[in-house]
């Protein structure tokens, strides 16, 4: 994959027309788009179809976390949108992740990558302690990544700071999709565990999720190309 193909742009908006226009303007400059809960709740599958009309691959970031049958049904329902990537919360446990993997496999040759979300990049050590996970973020990420791999997931979503540890624990074939990416020239926003695109790529990330440094730029395609040039 080229550096540009490793970039998935987070389109964090509820405006389907705006998201579709932005996706169209980014075609050829990035590898795909990420649509999450905010967009999907407002626009549903029809809104997703508007955005993916640009031809860019889709990361459907809905982070399912429920009982196994419900999550399997949600993954199965998502397959009509032909996502390249779907995800669940690793904290849902092994039975839930296995059910999700079985449902994803029903897509056959169009099977999406099934990723497990480990520890959200907005959470620091004090946040984990507050919710009863009295562990270092890296240790918790590695624990959940190993559980996800054993449960049939293709990879995980992890912060840039845990790439090396997860790669060592889970091997070269395990997909690592990494948010919390900020070029040196961009603000951190609400992300606590961040690094630059080049650093994440060098550490072993397979794909990077980048939002505001691209979407809030005066020229999103130029910002995306600047990032891919820095990665190269």
Give the largest CA-CA distance in the chain: 45
In terms of Cα–Cα distance, which of 159, 156, 142 is closest to 194? 159
Is residue 47 left, alpha or beta, with left meaning phi > 0 and alpha meaning psi from -120 to 50?
alpha
Q: Exposed e or buried b for every residue in 28-37, given b needs 16+ CB within 10 A?
A: ebbbbbbbbe
**Structure letter (DSSP) for residue 111:** P
CB 113 within 8 A of CB 126: no
CA distance to 66, 115, 168, per residue, from 172 (Å): 29, 15, 8
Q: How far apart are CA 90 and CA 32, in angstroms?
A: 23
| 63 assigned to active site | yes
Q: How far apart are CA 153 and CA 61, in angstroms?
A: 15
Catalytic member of 34, 37, 63, 146:
63
Catalytic residues: 63
């Amino acid at each position: 994959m080229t550096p540009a193909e490793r970039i998935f742009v987070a389109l964090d908006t509820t405006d389907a027309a705006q998201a579709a226009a932005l996706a169209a303007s980014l075609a050829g400059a990035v590898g795909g788009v990420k649509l999450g809960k905010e967009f999907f709740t407002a626009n549903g599958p029809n809104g997703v179809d508007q955005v993916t009309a640009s031809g860019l691959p889709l990361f459907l970031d809905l982070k399912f976390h429920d009982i196994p049958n419900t999550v399997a049904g949600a993954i199965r329902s998502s397959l009509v949108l032909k996502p390249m990537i779907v995800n669940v919360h690793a904290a849902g446990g092994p039975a839930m992740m296995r059910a999700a993997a079985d449902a994803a496999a029903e897509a056959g040759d169009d099977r999406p990558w099934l990723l497990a979300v480990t520890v959200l990049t907005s959470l620091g050590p004090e946040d984990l302690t507050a919710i009863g996970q009295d562990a270092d973020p890296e240790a918790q990420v590695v624990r959940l990544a190993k559980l996800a791999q054993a449960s049939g997931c293709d990879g995980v979503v992890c912060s840039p700071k845990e790439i090396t540890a997860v790669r060592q624990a889970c091997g070269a074939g395990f997909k690592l999709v990494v948010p919390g990416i900020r070029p040196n020239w961009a603000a951190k926003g609400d992300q606590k565990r961040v690094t630059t695109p080049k650093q994440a790529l060098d550490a072993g990330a397979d794909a990077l999720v980048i939002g505001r440094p691209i979407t809030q730029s005066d020229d999103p395609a130029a910002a995306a190309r600047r990032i891919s040039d820095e990665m190269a």
